[in-house]
Chains A and B, each alone.
Chain A
Amino acid sequence: MSPSDFFYRNREIAGFSNPSRATYTAVRELLENSLDAAESLEVPPNIFLRISEVAGQTESETKFYIMRVEDNGTGVPADHIPSAFGQIFYGSKYELKQARGTFGLGGTMAVLYGQITTHEPVKIESSTGGDIHEFIMNIDIQNNRANIFKHNIRQNPTGWRGTSIEIQMDGDYSRIMHRLIEYLKQTAMVVPYADITYIDPKGRLYKYERGTDTLPPLPQPVRPHPHGIDVEMVKRLISTDKKSRNMKSFMMENFQGVGAITAEKFLKSADINLKSKPKTLSSEEMVRIVRATKDYEGFKRPIASCLSPIGVELFETGISKELGISEDDYLKVVTRKPSTYLGYPFIVEAAVAAGNTIRKSHGPGIHIYRFANRIPLLFDEGSGVIWKAAHKNINWKTYSVEKDTSIVIAVHVCSTKIPYKSVGKEFMADQPNVEKEVTNAIREAARGVRSYISKRTRIQREKRRLNIFNNYLPVIAQFATRLSEKEEMPDITPLLTAVSTVIPEEKSTLAEVPQIVEESSE
């Protein structure tokens, strides 16, 4: 069975389980591809997305849609286009870095799904700066390769660089509309440097404008950490490694943080001869190596340069612009130091927002936004580690957050391997270290909430107080005038001025509100 065939038969694994979910997943895959393409070129992404109904259809639950995504990314070299969009294949690179692609399939799954539901080819146009190459093609599923129907080369007078892809597929837009819009909005929160334009099947325009031109630094590829390997990986490393003459240099060449001494010590602990040639390693020895990595404690911590957190400033920009945070609201973003679980490095970032804007837009309660490697997670919130951290691990009373308080918590976890709990890849497992980091990140971001809330309560109380005087004094004046049979109302402005000048004085005492001390983490 070819990989294409496998995914054809098991498409629900990749998120194409039904027409509405497939619509959502296709947009995600294509959009994330586009974001990656622009980011790797280090230009602020301009993404155009359009979903339109194929004309002349009868009313039915599902419909054929044309989905078009266009970006200003690197573009795909013409000779790579057929394999990039017409072939599902396992990569053989073993460098690690943080990447978006949920399943490593890119847009190919969307192409495959479109093909099997509508039997229409996909149209791809791309330019890396020179001519524009247009491909009309589909996938030869059994042989896992592209069937090219047409390849046109056009001149590129405007100097466009990027890729556009147009897929026809069976979908159900009405059911997934809200999630899709939410997905775009949340994407705009974590990718605040992107301009995203979306035209939906009804012709409505949604625009998510960038709030900054700054991109976070690109993640640097690194070699794998010994803690995170398995037997298959060792096997592949051996087969691709052409240089290493013995096991000691194999360890030093293929893994991060392994020097001569560590390599020797480790191989000794695994009872592997330093001098044996990698190619001669028996299966039994490979298993022994993998087992030994789990017990050996002398490795350095995984390097975090392969990670690309959003960063405090950008995350703040994204949340502010998408939630409409104003100066009167509370917003605090923290980026934690790198940490690891099972040999994988990860970084947690958290934002906490509160205030009137949040109350108006979200209503009372704790509202959670979850992100993994700059992708919003929209499904199965209650099962994930972030929900657990926010609802179970934190005593919100300490932060003066009551049942009717409105707060938003946004958590971004970036890692070379997100600890997804299920094949759906919509929520993260509660790996102890991840849970601890997420909890601490939220706590850190929430630390100012208490004094913010007490300050706001005071100001509100003052406002209410002033309001009371504003309401009653005129009534007193009015009826005192009638009662005393006077013609003119007495002037109450001096009295109102007198009460309102009290406010700044009360404000100045706010600084004395003690900061709460962070609870010790478990």
Chain B
Amino acid sequence: MSKKVQSDAERKRETMEKSLTQMGQLIYDQIQNREFPWIHMQSRSTDNIIYDPDERQYILGPRMIRRHSRNIRHIRPFTQLVWTSWFAKELVRLRKTSTLREVYYSARGQRDIEYSGQQESDNIITDLEVALNRAREDFHIFPEERSSIFGDLTIEYTVPGYEGRRMNLTDHPDGAMIGPAVTSSDFIETTADKVLVVEKGAMFTRLVEERAHEKFNAILIHTAGQSPRATRGIINRLSKDHGLPAYIFTDADPWGLHIAMVIISGSANAAHLRGLSTPSARWIGVNGTDIINYKLPTEPLSDFDRKRLTELKRDPRYVGEMWQKELDILIELDQKAELEAFSKFGLTYIVDEYLPAKLGM
């Protein structure tokens, strides 16, 4: 880790501002040339979302669409897109951040383009991501935050008022919320050599209490269920840019498996984005084999669980032998187990015994 990264965030911000301006320029020129403005972008319809085994994630296919203001059905979303671009540019220019919810509300009072609901607004933001080929976090729009990070990682803020200020992520024992400030910060230095990702808040707290970050020399991340894109982005950055392998630790049920899979291979919804998936990340459990080996207390699968398992069996992201085997075990056992199941062996068992075994220590 070096210090030259300090200007990274700023440079990124400037590029963003420039490409938004260029988009405005494009539309402006089209109108000047007596042309109905339009924008070319990749289609996000389901038949254009393809799994790329090489990238190990979903990607958008080659099909392009035009969002054209000459088209009576397109002109409203097109106008909303232009408005949203302007809104994003103001955020970037003023170094402010906003949430999806706020964007939805900000359009209130804009005659004719007012969003009919959050869904419409979110959709337009995704359109803008596709059109610009950038994640919304890059133009300072964030979802509601709920995941957190803890460990020996020193970050340097780039958000206004905090520029240059540094913080070590062990400073706060509840962990730092992964919000715009953390997401936009530069990662300065760390002594950790791995990232440990958990699905649940209770387990995250336990790991912090048991000083797992020191014991395993790891940065701890709590996803709070399916991980937000900012969190997946950070896992990717730590893994790819800083060489820290990531280990994911979830419940032994289809939902836990899929939390891990989305971190590894991304989601269909974000098929237009890169840098969110971490193919090198590894799911270390709890898996079906653990249920048997540790004789973990279990619960029977629900119909909903079974249905989800069969769906995952057919999902292209699960083609790997290991995945198919784990899915089969769960189906065969017809049981599931939660992370908390290890409490049967005492509160510290998971840190003292299970994780070291899994991490090969």
Query: What is A's interface to B at a CB cutoff of 8 Å?
Result: 465, 468-469, 471-473, 475-477, 479-486, 490-492, 494-495, 498
Contact = CB atoms under 8 A, between A and B. Distances in A.
Interface stretch (B3-11, B76-84, B143-151, B229-237): B76-84
Nearest to A482: B86
Contacts of B78: 472, 476
B50 interface: no
B83 A475 contact: yes
A468 B78 CA distance: 12
Contact of B31 (A469, A471, A495): A495
A258 B32 CA distance: 87
Residue among B31, B37, B111 with most chain A CB within 10 A: B31
B20 interface: yes
7 A-B pairs with the lowest CB-CB distances in the bound complex, closest first: A483-B24, A484-B24, A490-B31, A480-B27, A484-B25, A494-B34, A479-B86
B69 A483 contact: no
Contact of B27 (A469, A476, A498): A476
B16 to A, nearest CB: 13
Contact of A490 (B28, B82, B89): B28
A412 B227 CA distance: 76
B89 A491 contact: no
24 contacts: A469-B75, A472-B112, A473-B75, A475-B83, A475-B110, A475-B113, A476-B37, A476-B69, A476-B82, A477-B31, A479-B83, A482-B86, A483-B25, A483-B28, A483-B82, A483-B85, A484-B21, A484-B25, A484-B28, A485-B21, A490-B28, A490-B32, A495-B31, A495-B36
Contact of A480 (B31, B36, B72): B31
Residue among A473, A490, A498 with most chain B CB within 10 A: A490
Given A471-B112, A472-B112, A480 B28 contact: yes
A482 B72 contact: no
Contacts of B188: none
B176 interface: no
Interface string B241-252: 000000000000
A483 B32 contact: no
B69 A481 contact: no
Interface of B: 20-21, 23-25, 27-28, 31-32, 34, 36-37, 69, 72, 75-76, 78-79, 82-83, 85-86, 89, 110-113
B interface: dominant SS: helix
A476 B78 CA distance: 8
A482 B72 CA distance: 24
Given A472-B75, A476-B79, A481 B113 contact: no
A468 B75 CA distance: 8
Contacts of A479: 24, 79, 82-83, 85-86
A88 B85 CA distance: 88
B72 A475 contact: no
B72 A465 contact: yes
Residue among A468, A472, A476 with most chain B CB within 10 A: A476
Contacts of B76: 468, 472
Contacts of A475: 79, 82-83, 110-113
B115 to A, nearest CB: 14
A481 B111 CA distance: 18
Contacts of A485: 21, 24
B85 A492 contact: no
